[in-house]
Amino acid sequence: MHLSPDEIIFWQFGFLKLNATIVYTWGLMVVLAVGSILVTRKLSKGLQRSRWQNLLEIVITGIVKQIEEVGMSQPEKYLSFLGTLFLFVAMASLFTIVPGYEPPTGSLSTTAALAICVFVAVPLFGIEQSGLGDYLQAYLKPTVIMLPFNIISEVSRTLALAVRLFGNMMSGTMILAILLTITPFIFPIAMSALGLLTGMVQAYIFSILATVYIAAATRVRNPKPEPTAKH
């Protein structure tokens, strides 16, 4: 019994090690990349298109629409970051139906890595959008007194992102493992289905929160802020 796939180590050389988290992540990366290459290799620009292309188009346009609804005027610019976040988390939980698979998002290291990515990306996008000075000044709003609270908020929400995803994904796997020892027949399947739903919801929540953070950072100089998306 282990809490995180980090604990399954295939190979180690000092500080360097190859654990299940990294391996499963590579597996996901290969599946996503190869699948994309296979589908987009024969892309149709006409009115007739393949079913896989249709599926991918629905997914991409759905993500783009979601980003737009949160209030960002150029969704394509953030698509690769936010879309990859969503797809990675969603695929990680979707593959839990494969026996023996451990979702990499069930490792606090992975979720921390993703949260760090968001933590770094938010100021980067904000500075790119409005310049360094303006971005930093946003921490002084509405007054200078709010600066420590703004910084605490920034750090705490990153921590919350990481722990929320880790908790949900890890709990799913843990519940399944515990139930398997108690009621080994039908019940774990129902819980597995529930785990899939939870994974999808978590993927949505993680990416939409990241979107909202980026939107908040890039909307600093926008005189007429658009309404924020529903959480």
Partner 1 sequence: MLIDWFTVLAQVVNFLILMWLLKRFLYLPILNAIDAREKKIAKELADADTKKVEAQKELDEFQHKNAEFEQQRVALMNKATEEAKTERLHLLDKARQAADTLSVKRQESLRIDAHNLNQAISRRIRQEVFAIARKVLTDLAATSLEERLADVFIRRLQDMDEQAKADLGKALKAASEPALVRSAFDLPVAQCTVIQKAINQIFSAQINIRFETEPELISGIELTSNGQKVAWSIVDYLASLEKIVDDLLQEKDKAEAQIKKPPALMRQMDKRAYEADGSMTGHADEEWKQAEQGMHKENPEPVKTEQSAPEVKN
Q: Does 47 bind partner 1 (CB under 8 A)?
A: yes
Tell the smallest beta-carbon distance from residue 95 to partner 1 (Å).
14
Distance CA 215, CA 225 (A): 10
Nearer to partner 1, 122 or 191 (CB): 122
Q: Does 44 bind partner 1 (CB under 8 A)?
A: yes
Q: Does 16 bind partner 1 (CB under 8 A)?
A: yes
Q: List the x/- string, 59-98, binding to partner 1 by CB under 8 A.
A: -xx--------------x--xxx-xx--xx----------
Tell the smallest beta-carbon distance from residue 190 to partner 1 (Å).
28
Of 43, 160, 189, 197, the one binding partner 1 (CB under 8 A) is 43
Tell the smallest beta-carbon distance from residue 194 to partner 1 (Å).
24
- DSSP string computed for the chain: --SSGGG-EEEEETTEEEEHHHHHHHHHHHHHHHHHHHHHHT---SS---HHHHHHHHHHHHHHHHHHHHT-S-HHHHHHHHHHHHHHHHHHHHGGGSTT---GGGSHHHHHHHHHHHHHHHHHHHHHHH-HHHHHHGGG-S-GGGHHHHHHHHHHHHHHHHHHHHHHHHHHHHHHHHHHHH--SSHHHHHHHHHHHHHHHHHHHHHHHHHHHHHHHHTTT-SSPPPPPP-
Q: Segment 117-156, which members bind partner 1 (CB under 8 A)?
A: 117
Q: Does 1 bind partner 1 (CB under 8 A)?
A: no
Backbone angles phi, psi at 10, to 5 degrees: -90, -35
Of 67, 70, 72, 112, the one binding partner 1 (CB under 8 A) is 112
Name the residues that contact partner 1, by CB under 8 A.
Answer: 3-4, 6, 15-17, 19, 21-22, 25-26, 28-29, 32-33, 36-37, 40, 43-47, 49, 53, 56-57, 60-61, 76, 79-81, 83-84, 87-88, 104, 107-110, 112-114, 116-117, 166
